């Protein structure tokens, strides 16, 4: 997969050299390129923003500069090239977005700053047939799209085959196919700070452990995310779940 990130603060994206994403880059699983938006400016001051039409506070990022950058970076010929515009006014990014973006050929992230990017940019690429996603990482406002892009890139990248050492670790995760939060996890030592791990986990009885984990996942989800319980389909529940 190719991932391009365009930002006026390319150094913000240095974290992409670390950990799993960094390793995936080294192994050639991810062709990740970070670009400085100012490379596409045409004036002496390398201007990327201007005052908002209609008045009001703050500055808006100019569509002409963004257009030059995206035209050069987006491979219009790539089947499944997606333009992602992080914005707090977008649809909320979820694991479902991550799953669907993981099979894309190219993702281009346009990191806004100030009051955001002129709305014609998303419109223009949509009209040109590019799949454009305006995505929020949550109901709060950041200063720029860089951190939001890091979040989305990491969520997508770990789903690319070969990225995560043991793919089994993806199966029972929170927000996975079961539609639940994950059960609590424990490791050695078995006793710590006067707290013991649940005995069933030492039983070696796989069916009992599986049942215990599912019950804890259901309990935790009901307590913290009743919206997820409400969204569960009855066909996804077993008779023991219904007895809970
Ligand atoms: N004026 C905008 C609004 O009220 O919707 C907020 C602009 S914000 C200060 C600047 C940039 O930060 C946005 O263009 C976007 O790239 C990024 N950003 C801020 N919060 C975000 C969020 N929750 N999700 C994704 N991107 C966000």
Q: Tens digits of per-residue pLDDT, 48-84? A: 999 999 999 999 999 999 999 999 999 877 678 999 9
Residue 234 in tokens: 């009855």
Residues whose CB falls within 8 Å of the CB of residue 170, separated by 6 or more in sequence, listed in order? 158, 159, 164, 176
- Reported as a pLDDT band with limits 50, 70 and 90, residue 44 is very high
Q: Which residues are annotated as a binding site?
A: 112, 137-142
Instruction: Sort strands 195-196 and 191-192 into parallel, antiparallel or unpaired.
Output: antiparallel
Residue 171 in tokens: 């199966």
**Cα of 145 from ligand 1 centre, angstroms:** 6
What ipTM was estimated for this complex?
0.99
- 182 to 59, 170, 198: CA distances (angstroms): 42, 11, 16
- 213 to 122, 183, 184, 202, 218: CA distances (angstroms): 44, 5, 8, 13, 9
Average pLDDT along the chain? 94
Cα separation, 159 vs 104, in Å, equals 12
Q: Which H/E stretch holds residue 110? A: strand 106-110
75-123 pLDDT per residue, tens: 877 678 999 999 999 999 999 999 999 999 999 999 999 999 999 999 9
Which residues surround ligand 1 with Cβ inside 6 Å? 86-89, 111-113, 115-116, 136-138, 140-145, 148
**Cα of 114 from ligand 1 centre, angstroms:** 8
**Cα of 240 from ligand 1 centre, angstroms:** 44
Q: In 3-state terms, what secondary structure has residue 66?
A: helix
126-168 pLDDT per residue, tens: 999 999 999 999 999 999 999 999 999 999 999 998 888 777 7
For ligand 1, atom 2, the nearest C-alpha belongs to 115
Domains and CATH numbers, the chain: 2-157 (3.40.1280.10), 171-243 (1.10.1270.20)
Q: Which residues are annotated as a binding site for S-adenosyl-L-methionine?
A: 112, 137-142
Q: Can you give the pLDDT at residue 69?
A: 98
For ligand 1, atom 22, the nearest C-alpha belongs to 88
Q: What's 116-161 look like in SS3?
A: CECCHHHHHHHHCCCEEEEEECCCCCCCCHHHHHHHHHHHHHCCCC
């Amino acid at each position: 997969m190719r991932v391009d990130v365009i930002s006026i603060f390319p150094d913000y994206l240095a974290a992409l050299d670390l950990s799993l994403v960094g390793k995936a880059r080294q192994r050639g699983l991810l062709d990740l390129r970070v670009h400085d938006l100012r490379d596409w400016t045409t004036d002496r001051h390398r201007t990327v923003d201007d005052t908002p039409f209609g008045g009001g506070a703050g500055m808006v990022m100019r569509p002409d500069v963004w257009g030059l950058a995206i035209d050069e970076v987006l491979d219009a010929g790539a089947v499944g090239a997606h333009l992602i515009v992080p914005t707090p006014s977008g649809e909320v990014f979820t694991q479902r977005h991550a799953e669907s973006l993981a099979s894309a050929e190219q993702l281009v992230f346009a990191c806004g700053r100030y009051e955001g990017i002129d709305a014609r940019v998303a419109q223009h690429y949509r009209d040109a047939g590019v799949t454009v996603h305006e995505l929020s990482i949550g109901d709060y406002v950041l200063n720029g799209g860089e951190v939001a892009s890091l979040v989305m890139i990491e969520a997508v990248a770990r789903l690319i085959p070969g990225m995560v050492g043991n793919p089994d670790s993806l199966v029972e995760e929170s927000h996975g196919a079961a539609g639940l939060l994950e059960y609590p996890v424990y490791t050695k030592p078995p006793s710590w700070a006067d707290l013991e791990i649940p005995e069933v986990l030492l039983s070696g009885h796989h069916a009992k452990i599986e049942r215990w984990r599912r019950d804890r996942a259901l309990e935790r989800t009901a307590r913290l995310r009743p919206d997820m319980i409400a969204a569960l389909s009855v066909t996804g529940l077993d008779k023991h779940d219904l007895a809970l």
